[in-house]
Structure 1
Amino acid sequence: MQVIDRRKALSIPPVWRLAFRPFFLAGSLFALLAIPLWVAVWTGLWPGFQPTGGWLSWHRHEMLFGFAMAIVAGFLLTAGQTWTGQPGISGNKLMALAAVWLLARLGWLFGLPLMLLIPLDLLFMLGVTGLMARMLWVVRQKRNYPIIAVLTLMIGADVLVLCGLARNDDSLQRQGVLAGLWLVAALMAIIGGRVIPFFTQRGLGHTEAVKPWLWLDVALLVGTGLIAVLYAAGPALQQNALLGGLFLAIAAGHLLRLVRWYDAGIWRVPLLWSLHLAMLWLVVAAAGLALWNFGLLANSSSSLHALSVGSMSGLILAMIARVTLGHTGRPLQLPTGIVSAFVLFNLGAAARVFLASEWPVTGLWMAAICWTLAFALYAWRYAPMLVAARVDGHPG
């Protein structure tokens, strides 16, 4: 059976052998095109057609449920195979899931009628959640059930956005997007808390990883989930000192974890400092939102972009750079130009968070250029790996 299964797996074109391959590739290509397009529209350089719901609705929804969830799907549906011992999605089923994702993205951009776009958009999220839930349920892997809970809530957040779109209610759309953003932060809290200490230990040659404090991990997950629920319900859109205290606690909890994980040796290893910096951006985001809720910052936009750009997208870039190497059978040695991609990305995040509020056009274009170059470097160096067979000859 092992020989037959191996032959069957190797007969599948490499790009369809595991979910990380098409989704990391498609997600990175989408990212490097979508942000310069958005900034061009925002600065008046793109006076053409309108996507479904208008450009702001497109930008908010697609960078979260299009770009970020493509990477989440690729990561989880690949990692699930390792976690459970169950075969990951591949072949025709993976092609179908990727096609649904692509059609939904094209539908949003080119104004597909809502009666077609809404079920198409939800089908991708339902497919990812259902596939992941099945893998975990078969082996009763309760440790990872919280991931299914978060993905299920993400579907709810997407429904909220789509309801807002159907009702032409911008506030409802914003509630859903911000709830979804903090649900991704909850996934980052779960996954980051597991892999970053382990990667740090392996990358620096230590004998043991820093042991997690379960109470802290649970508190961060519950607190972040509560923020998502409050955004979905609406109160988090308004300044509130109690909510500011919750954001401050989230910032302190993540900072405490970073201090525990820290080792000066990470600065010699780009695959490590890129991960740690991404989580530091989460601290900046939560602290900024705490200050906004306390009335000490004029607006929340910069803090939200510290989360969406600096932390979420920074962790995405760092993780896909590492995961692609490991799952294509390569040593963990970054290709030429990827260290520059990490540097450019974080410079762009700083421009978006700290410059764009004072010099909007300059700050946004600096951020967009750095972002685009970073993901272009990833696509250039990693696309050949993603579409080719593993270098060690194994399936996957």
Structure 2
Amino acid sequence: MTALKRLFSEGFRIFFLAAGLFAVLAMALWEHWIAAQALGQEAGFPAAAMPQHWHAHEMIFGFGGAALAGFFLTAVPNWTGAKGAPHRFIALVAALWLAGRLALWFSGGLPPGVVALTDLAFAPVLAGQLLEQLIRKPKAQQMILLALLALFWTANLLTHLEWMGLTGTLWAGLRGGLLTLGAMIMVLGGRVTPGFTRNAMVATGRDSRLPRNPAPLAAVSIAASVGVAAGYLAGLPEPVLGGLAVVAGLAGLARVALWRSGWTWDKPILWVLHLSYAANAAGFAMLGLAGLGFGSEIAALHLLGIGGVGGMTLAIMSRASLGHTGRPLVAPRAVALAYALLPLAALLRYLGSAWPEAHDPALLLAGGLWMAAFALFVLRLWPVWWAPRLPRAAAD
């Protein structure tokens, strides 16, 4: 098998590579525009959307969409025992994703309907493949992820409807899309974080004081977070959305408090899961408080987006890339450094939103840390995505 064909042989290879590269490129384009504005200069921007709207859309539906595709195309065959998608299908879905990114960037010279159709084609094709596999062994905890993917697509649709001049739903779509990613972390992160930690503890011979993950608390965090995401799309009143977000955040923080996070301090590939889940939950809680009149909504959204979604995607993408290529589940030093940079970026971006006088410097520094984190991720794992799976003996 050639290296190029291998890149499209499994979903995590091409899509985690694409997510990492796009995380750097899209942020660099946004940082360039911000820096030009701060210096009083004009920066060419070919997208039809306002730069801040393009930035938000592409971080959520561009970067987030690639990370989701890589995860789903890799995890679902493992869950169901079904054969993975053929490389031609993976190449097709990757091409659709890329076409959407190009359509958004050059949308200033394209009809809005064409841009919408191009960008919206990606998720339904992906969902069709996932449904075919999941329906063979349907389980509620897995089918909910397909429902969340549909919610994610609906949020993207709402952004395009406003750009087409049909509705006023841009902000609902952007918030709904980000919060759907946050809800997925409540579901998936709430499953794998305590599970991976428990497995690592048991492997050392420990059989007491293991992570606890009470089902009622999990149900509250998931139901409330999904309710917030769907509520934004449905236009629920702000106090209702705020209350649901606070409940989701507090339930999520209560869950992570039971997962023995302190035990993971010297194991970056584990503590990044705990820290990212906590940042995601804190983002929900702070967003809820902002909706009730306490604090900055933009600051809360960026804490959730950078620390929660960014951190958890980086954690899962790196772990899956190592594990599915037969390599030890130990974060390389460059990747461990990337784990540490994203919380700092989230903190800086939060401070920049909470204190307007520090906005531009904090935003530029936070963006720089984000780019550095994903550049380290791509550079260190680049050979892994192109190379064949290691034999078990080599992995051991």
TM-score in terms of structure 1 length:
0.91
Q: What is the match of residue 28 of structure 1? A: 20
Question: How far did 1:46 drift?
Answer: 5.9
Q: Distance in 1 between matches of 2:198 and 2:246?
A: 29
Q: Distance in 2 between matches of 1:354 and 1:183?
A: 24
The DSSP-based 3-state class of the residue aligned with 1:140 is: coil
Output one character per residue of 1:309-331: Cα deviation in whole Å (capped at 9) or x when no partner. Answer: 11001101111111110011101
The DSSP-based 3-state class of the residue aligned with 1:268 is: coil
The answer to whether residue 97 in structure 2 is matched with residue 96 in structure 1 is no
Runs of 4+ in structure 1 off by over 4 angstroms are: 9-12, 206-209
Q: Is the CA contact (8 Å cut-off) linking 1:285 and 1:303 kept in structure 2?
A: yes
The answer to whether residue 221 in structure 2 is matched with residue 220 in structure 1 is yes
Counterparts of 1:193-272 in structure 2 under 5 Å?
A: 193-204=190-201, 205=203, 206-207=206-207, 210-235=211-236, 238=238, 240=239, 242-272=240-270
**AA at the equivalent of 2:233:** A
Q: Is the CA contact (8 Å cut-off) linking 1:203 and 1:269 kept in structure 2?
A: no
Q: Distance in 2 between matches of 1:168 and 1:46?
A: 30
The DSSP-based 3-state class of the residue aligned with 1:105 is: helix
Q: Is the CA contact (8 Å cut-off) linking 1:40 and 1:46 kept in structure 2?
A: no
Q: Distance in 2 between matches of 1:136 and 1:142?
A: 10
Q: What is the match of residue 4 of structure 1? A: none
Find the partner of 1:80 among 76, 81, 86: 76
**AA at the equivalent of 1:230:** G
The answer to whether residue 306 in structure 2 is matched with residue 314 in structure 1 is no
Q: What is the match of residue 103 of structure 2? A: 107
Output one character per residue of 1:177-219: Cα deviation in whole Å (capped at 9) or x when no partner. Answer: 1111111111111111111111112333345863532222222
Q: Is the CA contact (8 Å cut-off) linking 1:27 and 1:71 kept in structure 2?
A: yes
Report how many aligned residue pairs link the two structures: 381
Q: Which has the higher contact order (CA 8 A, sep 6+)?
A: 1
TM-score in terms of structure 2 length:
0.91
Percent of paired sites with the same residue: 31
Q: Cα RMSD over matched residues?
A: 2.1
Question: How far did 1:42 drift?
Answer: 2.6
**AA at the equivalent of 1:371:** W
Q: What is the match of residue 3 of structure 1? A: none
Output one character per residue of 1:318-368: Cα deviation in whole Å (capped at 9) or x when no partner. Answer: 111111100111011222312211111211111001244320111011101
**AA at the equivalent of 1:388:** A
Q: Distance in 1 between matches of 2:215 and 2:346?
A: 31
- Report the CA distance shift for 1:341/1:263 in structure 2 as closer, same or farther (over 3 A): closer
Counterparts of 1:1-396 in structure 2 under 5 Å?
A: 13-43=5-35, 44=37, 47-111=43-107, 112-167=110-165, 171-204=168-201, 205=203, 206-207=206-207, 210-235=211-236, 238=238, 240=239, 242-297=240-295, 299-358=296-355, 359-392=358-391
Q: Is the CA contact (8 Å cut-off) linking 2:30 and 2:51 kept in structure 1?
A: yes
Output one character per residue of 1:10-60: Cα deviation in whole Å (capped at 9) or x when no partner. Answer: 998211111010000001100011112112213326611331323222112
**AA at the equivalent of 2:71:** F
- Report the CA distance shift for 1:139/1:12 in structure 2 as closer, same or farther (over 3 A): farther
With 199-208 and 288-297 compared, the bigger mean Cα shift is at 199-208
Q: Is the CA contact (8 Å cut-off) linking 2:76 and 2:134 kept in structure 1?
A: yes
Output one character per residue of 1:212-237: Cα deviation in whole Å (capped at 9) or x when no partner. Answer: 3222222222211211122113345x
**AA at the equivalent of 2:298:** S
**AA at the equivalent of 1:185:** G
Q: What is the match of residue 6 of structure 1? A: none
